[in-house]
Chain A
Amino acid sequence: MRDTFAEVVGAALDTDPRLAVVLADISADRFAAAARRHPDRVVNLGIREQLMIGVAGGLALTGMRPVAHTFAPFLVERPFEQVKLDLGHQGAGAVLVSHGASYDGSHYGRTHMAPGDVALLDSLPGWTVHVPGHADEVGPMLRSALRGEGNVYVRLGERGNAAARPVGPELTTVRAGSARSSGVVVAVGPMLDRVLAATGDLDVTVAYAATVRPFDRAGLNRLAARAGQADVLVVEPYLAGTSAHEVAAALEDRRHRQRSLGVIRDTEVRGYGTPADHDRAHGLDVEGIAKQARDFFLLST
């Protein structure tokens, strides 16, 4: 996904004079050729993440479309007040593209993990958040973000699904349940294949979301109305419950149940190892999702 990002943005620099890229050393090698072609529009500030967001805001104030990129904790968490004030509060728009997701860099440990990134941005109004589940989904999302004006977060990961899905603002039904189904499972980005495997023997609707903000509330409401039960299980690759308030708002006109799977909130998992190790620790491997889905949908195990 990161290579696709560099290719798409590098090519767009050649055709869109409004575009600028701001870096803080991470991935600077991938933009070296673009920087030679456009030295004024590809700026590596060194390891200065607060400045990276401030510079993005200043570029936007002059009418440019800035893209800022580094690992998720350094892009969203370290300069969070800059994200809040130098972008949204100024009325300035930028495209923030992170890498590393929740624990793609599991061997680095907690310092390089940011499962709270989407929840943090959720505390600010007006953000569009894309969570691609396949490298081929990155291009359309990015091109749409580069054309726009507002604040966009693109959350890149190293893992995803075997096949790309059509991306857009709406939930996509990947597998439809019957009229007597147990409910709806929403799989966000890279969680889809695991959700499909984990729920293969259940009568549920599985829907895919690669754009989670704005959340397709109307779409979820329609899917819940068609299901046998208005029971919704959301499986997200970041903090569990990040989208729970969206589900509640989507279903406020009907009695419903909901459960959120994601990176657990109440414990700081101090482990290294592989991302798969962390999936198991958080119950986000196929087995863990299957167990929790059966439990939520009140099916015998």
Chain B
Amino acid sequence: MTTAPALTRYADLPALIGLMTGDEKHQIAADSTREVLWVLYDRVLNVSPQAADDPDRDRFLLSKGHGPAPYYAVLAAKGFLDLATLRSWAAFDSPLGHHPDATLVPGAEIGSGSLGHGLGLGVGTALGLRAQGRTGPRVFVLLGDGELDEGSNHEAIAAAGRLGLDNLTAVVVDNASATHGWPGGIDTRFSGEGWAALSAPGRDQSALHDALTTPHRGRPLAVIARVRPKG
């Protein structure tokens, strides 16, 4: 019987997160993204540490940069980060801060933390791949429903739909944290702009996988991952 290398499984994520301490403020945000991140890196994204600079790799842009502990844990489980690095989390000379810096974190495509930047960068990345004739790689951007309040996202949602960026997927983790809410559902904001949009239970890995791999020819895809409301 073969066994997986240490700390590379979904069940190991709590132990990996346990190597990092101190970010209680963003614990809810961190918890809400665990399954989505795992499904993406384990079953959806065509990325690996060996192909980190391959121009035809898939891109994952963590727009929701707060509460990055599960992100770092998943990157460690998938071999992008040394386990020992996790212990240095938030120290001055650590590559791992409370918001990720792409120039410091192996495998991170963008630095984030300030809300509302990832989707615009994702639209540009999708356009850049299209302009270079790279039809294989896909661009995934992870946002939060509170982050969706930022107007910059609505510029990106409208333009991506009209430009038919079918190499772009937005994943919105919805823990009902937006102060004024999204009447009619977040998915309608995307579908109204020409996106394929659907919802999935945010803790159900199988349902998330099905949603994230739904064909969406000619249109960008939005997946709303619903998790327990913040509070």
Contacts and interface: CB of A to CB of B under 8 A. Distances in A.
Contacts of A81: 114, 117
Interface string B101-129: 11100000111001011011111111111
A114 interface: no
A63 B102 contact: no
Contact of A61 (B124, B131, B156): B124
Nearest to B113: A85
Contacts of B121: 54-55, 57-58, 61, 86, 90
A85 B128 contact: no
Nearest to B129: A62
Nearest to B128: A62
A32 B119 CA distance: 27
Interface string B82-113: 00000000000000000001110000011100
B151 interface: yes
Given A40-B127, A46-B159, A48-B159, A61 B120 contact: no
Interface residues on B, range: 20 to 34
B129 to A, nearest CB: 6
A58 B130 contact: no
Interface in B119-173: 119-132, 134, 151-152, 155-156, 158-159, 163
A8 B103 CA distance: 33
Contacts of A40: 127, 130-131
A20 B152 contact: no
Interface in A58-89: 58-64, 66, 81-82, 85-86, 89
B5 interface: no
A63 B119 CA distance: 18
Contacts of B127: 20, 40, 43, 55, 58-59
A17 B132 CA distance: 8
Nearest to A89: B111
Contact of A54 (B123, B158, B163): B123
B55 interface: yes
A51 interface: yes
Contacts of A85: 111, 114, 117
Contact of B152 (A50, A59, A62, A64): A50
A51 B128 contact: no
Contacts, number: 105
A43 B155 CA distance: 14
Given A43-B127, A58-B125, A86 B159 contact: no
Nearest to A41: B131
A85 B129 CA distance: 21
Most buried by A among B121, B130, B155: B121
Contacts of A48: 155, 158-159
Contact of B124 (A17, A58, A89): A58
A85 B115 CA distance: 11
A53 interface: yes
Interface string A19-52: 0101000000000000000001101011010110
A58 B123 contact: yes
Given A63-B132, A90-B110, A90-B111, A58 B126 contact: yes
A166 interface: no
B110 A61 contact: yes
Given A58-B126, A64-B128, A51 B120 contact: yes
Nearest to B152: A50
Contact of A50 (B111, B120, B125): B120
B152 to A, nearest CB: 4
A91 B111 CA distance: 9
A96 interface: no
A123 to B, nearest CB: 16
Contacts of A55: 120-121, 123-124, 127, 159
Given A48-B155, A51-B156, A81-B114, A64 B131 contact: yes
A66 B131 CA distance: 12
Contacts of B152: 50-51, 54, 82
A64 B132 contact: yes
A82 to B, nearest CB: 7
Q: Pick from A41, A60, A66, A90 the residue with the most CB of B within 10 Å.
A: A90
10 contacts: A20-B127, A20-B128, A22-B124, A45-B159, A50-B116, A51-B120, A55-B121, A62-B125, A62-B129, A89-B111
Interface of B: 55, 59, 101-103, 109-111, 114, 116-117, 119-132, 134, 151-152, 155-156, 158-159, 163
Given A58-B127, A58-B128, 12 more contacts: A17-B132, A46-B158, A46-B159, A51-B159, A54-B156, A55-B120, A58-B124, A60-B128, A62-B134, A82-B117, A89-B101, A90-B111
